[in-house]
Amino acid sequence: MLETVRAEALAGDASIGGALAAIDAALAADEAEAPLEPGRTDVIRVMNLHQAKGLEAPVVILAAPFEARDHPPRLHITGMTLSRAVGPFIWNAEGAYVKGKLWGTFLGAGAEVPADAVSGEVERTYYKWATSLDFTVLGVDFSLQYMTAHILDYSNAIIADKDDTVHAAFVRKNFFNNIVTAQCLAIHFINDDEWVMRPRTDVLLTERVKLSLGADVMTGDIADTGPRGEPLPGQFHFAGFFQNSSRVYAEIAYQF
């Protein structure tokens, strides 16, 4: 989910609407997945490779609809994923070594762009690893995540930090036979001490009508700014850009 949010912003849609839409899409994808219930043998789960690896199913059917390619891949990624169910807990861990990643650099006066930069980008190798713990206590679903990334051969001209660390927590509880669902997502960007808090309550008024009440709270400061407090060209601070854009909202959805 965190990678989805950052990718959406770096792809060009750095608006609060784009960021929140990316979070909603990631949460909706998680809710649509079949629950991973240890010990179930009477089901067939359809998952992508990222979700399936490490679950140690006795029978796995892998579909590989690869097309012929006439150009080499730009990124070379080597990684592994572990997943283990221990009682009511599901522990996940993954790591990746990525070669060929292009990183944006600062522009303007005072920026010492590396000699190998092309069109404001430099190619650097980096590695990242993440771990998460999913469990349920007294009917409350918890998901705790930790992710960090490290760029090798780092230059101070690169916009991204040399080490980037993010914590996240997601809590959800259903009431009254799933008529009411309360949840809260919290994301903490450690490097910039920025927070995103998204509490929300969904109420099924009928089989087709859902009422949602929630809030999007952004806190953080943009540390690297110009003379008027504006972010420097190319600078990226997720919550800092929207610190004055927190909101409380109500939505009604009709399914047909």
Query: 16-32 vs 2-10: helix axis angle to the nearest 10?
Result: 150
Q: Write out the two tokens for 63.
A: 């579909």
What does pTM read for this prediction?
0.67
Residue 97's SS3 state is strand
Burial class (CB in 10 A: 0-12, 13-18, 19+), 126: buried
Instruction: Starting at the earlier edge strand, list the strands of the sheet with 140-151.
Output: 76-86, 89-104, 121-137, 140-151, 163-175, 180-189, 194-204, 209-219, 247-254
Averaged in consecutive runs of 10 residues, what is the pLDDT profile of the chain (256 residues)? 55 58 63 49 67 65 62 78 89 93 74 77 92 93 94 88 92 94 93 88 93 90 55 55 78 90
Using alpha carbons, select from 130, 126, 215, 218 the residue that is nearest to residue 168: 130
Distance between CA atoms of residues 244 and 229, nearest Å: 14
Calculate the alpha carbon distances from 235 to 6, 85, 120, 239 in Å: 13, 40, 13, 12
Q: What is the model's pLDDT at position 54?
A: 58
* Model pLDDT, residue 40: 56
Q: Say which DSSP state 159 is in.
A: S
Domain extent listing, the chain: 73-254
